[in-house]
Amino acid sequence: MKEKIIEEAERLFWKYGVRTITMDDIARRLAISKKTIYQHFIDKEDIVFHVVKYHIENEVDEVCQLNAVAGNPIEELMLVSDMMRRHADEINPSVMLDIQRYYPKAWGVFLEYKENQIIKDIISNLQRGVNEGLYRTDLDLETMARLRVELLQIGFDEQIFPHHKDMYVVQDQLHHHFVRGILTLKGFEIYNNLKQTSERVQPIIYESK
C-alpha cells in the first residue's frame, strides 16, 4: 500500500503541482481513508520526501539502462537529455519551485542527487568525450556540468518560461544550445548523424571561425 500511495501521489503532484494536492485528494484517488495514509506517512511533507526519493531511484535506473546502450558519449548525452526533456514535459512547471520553497527535506534529497550523481555523471561524460576527440579540450568540465544542470532547472522557472511554453521544446532548445558549445568538428558530424533519426530536432551545421 505504501508504494501505491507514493505512485499515486507522484502522478497527482506531477500533473497538478505539489501545493495544490491534499491528503484528501490522494485518499480519494486511491479509494482509501486518510487514516490509511497516516499509517504509512507522518504528514504530506513525508509523502513529498518519499515521492522525490522514489522518482530519483527510478531516474537513476533509467539513466543506467540508457548509458548501457549508448555507443559513445554524444549518444549517451542525447539519450539522457531526451529522457530529461520527456520528464520535464510530463511535470507541472510549479513542481520544482513548490518543493524548493515548501518542502526542504525533499529538496535536500534532490540537491544531494544533483551533487553526488548528476554532476558527476556529466563530468564523466564530458571527460570521455574530450578523450575521444568529440568535445573541445578547453572545457572546464565542472563548470560545464553545473551549467547543464542549471539549464535543466531554468526550464522550470515560470518567470522565465510561462505556462504556455511547451516544456519539451524549452528543454530541447536549452540542450541544443549546450551541445553547440562543447562539440568538436568530429563531434558535430557524429551528432548530426544521430540526429537524422529524430523527428523533433533538425541537424545542426558546424560553423568554423
CB 92 within 8 A of CB 100: no
Residues 121-151 as b or e (16 or more Cβ within 10 Å = b):
bbbebbeebbeeebbeeebebeebbbebeeb
pTM for the complete prediction? 0.82
- Give the pLDDT score at 204: 45
Interatomic CA distance for residues 178 and 136, integer angstroms: 13
| pLDDT at position 198 | 61
Retrieve residue 115's grid coordinates.
551533487
- pLDDT score for 22: 96
Residue type at position 140: D
Q: Does residue 128 sit in helix, strand or coil?
A: helix
C-alpha cell at 205: 551545421
Instruction: Please report the pLDDT score of residue 169 as a whole number.
Output: 80
Q: Which residue has the cell 568535445?
A: 135
**pLDDT at residue 164, rounded to an integer:** 67
* Per-residue confidence (pLDDT) for residue 201, from 0 to 100: 42
Please, what are the averages of pLDDT over each run of 10 residues along the chain (209 residues)?
97 95 97 96 97 96 94 93 82 88 96 94 97 97 95 76 74 85 95 74 44
> Options 1.10.3210.10, 3.90.870.10, 1.10.357.10, 2.40.50.140; which CATH number does 44-195 get?
1.10.357.10
Q: How many other C-beta atoms are found inside a 10 Å radius of the C-beta of residue 2?
A: 12
Q: What is the pLDDT of residue 91?
A: 85
* C-alpha cell read off for 22: 491534499
**Where are the chain's structural domains?**
44-195
The pLDDT score that the predictor gives to residue 49 is 98
